[in-house]
């Protein structure tokens, strides 16, 4: 792999992650915050989930560093390697954020508390 291809794979991974975050996760969180009568706040989101987002990027870096070994086993993958990284970024982000997001746990707890209060009345 060339340096240019490594950089393109890194960019595709980041863009895949961005697709998941901006088209799926953030709208989902906005809807949950709306249901809880709370305002979605980018600052709060970043403070609670920065480690998960950075962790996903680190997973991408590990994949990029190990890509040459994968390509030795299966050279045909080189023809679509950039798309593999885009998919890995999106799917990796979806899995990692859904499992370890503190922001989602925070808003689900608020919804549960408000639901419990409403149910007791």
Whether residue 55 lies inside any domain: the answer is: yes
Q: How would residue 47 be classed by pLDDT, with cut points 50, 70 and 90?
A: very high
Whether residue 121 lies inside any domain: the answer is: no
Domain that holds residue 42: 3-116
Whether residue 33 lies inside any domain: the answer is: yes
Structure tokens that stand for 6 in this block: 């490594």
Whether residue 78 lies inside any domain: the answer is: yes
Distance CA 114, CA 121 (A): 11
Whether residue 105 lies inside any domain: the answer is: yes
Q: Once rounded to an integer, what is the mean pLDDT over residues 71-92? A: 93
Q: For residue 110, what are the contacts with CB-CB under 8 A and spacing of at least 6?
A: 36, 38
Count: domains in the chain: 1
101, 27 Cβ separation under 8 angstroms: no
Predicted TM-score (pTM) above 0.85: yes
């Amino acid at each position: 792999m060339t340096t240019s291809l490594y950089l393109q794979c890194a960019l595709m991974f980041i863009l895949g992650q961005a697709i998941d975050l901006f088209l799926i996760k953030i709208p989902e969180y906005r809807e949950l915050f709306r249901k809880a009568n709370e305002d979605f706040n980018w600052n709060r989101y970043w403070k609670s989930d920065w480690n998960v987002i950075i962790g996903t990027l680190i997973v991408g870096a590990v994949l990029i560093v190990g890509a040459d070994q994968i390509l030795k086993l299966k050279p045909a993958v080189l023809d679509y390697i950039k798309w593999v990284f885009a998919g890995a970024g999106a799917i990796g982000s979806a899995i990692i954020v859904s499992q370890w997001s503190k922001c989602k746990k925070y808003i689900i707890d608020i919804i549960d508390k408000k639901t419990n209060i409403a149910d007791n009345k």
